[in-house]
Amino acid sequence: MQLIPVDKSEEHYLICKTWLENKEITKWLVSALRFGKYFKVMHEMLLSTRRNSVFFIGHDDRLVGLVGLTNIDMVDKRAEVWYLVGAESDRGKNIATRALGLLQDVAVHELQLVTLYAQVPEPNATSIRVLENNGFQYAGKFREAFFLDGIYRDFLVFDWVNSQ
| pLDDT tens-digit map of 43-56 | 999 899 899 999 99
62-73 and 137-148: which strand pairing?
unpaired
pLDDT, one tens digit per residue, over 112-160 is: 999 999 999 998 999 999 999 999 999 999 999 999 889 999 999 999 9
Please tell me the CATH code under which domain 2-116 is placed. 3.40.630.30
Contact 105, 116 (CB under 8 A): no
Contact 154, 119 (CB under 8 A): no
Bridge partners (DSSP) of residue 119 are 157
Element holding 47 (H helix, E strand): helix 40-48
Mean pLDDT for 12-39 is 85
Average pLDDT of the chain is 93
pTM of the entire predicted model? 0.93
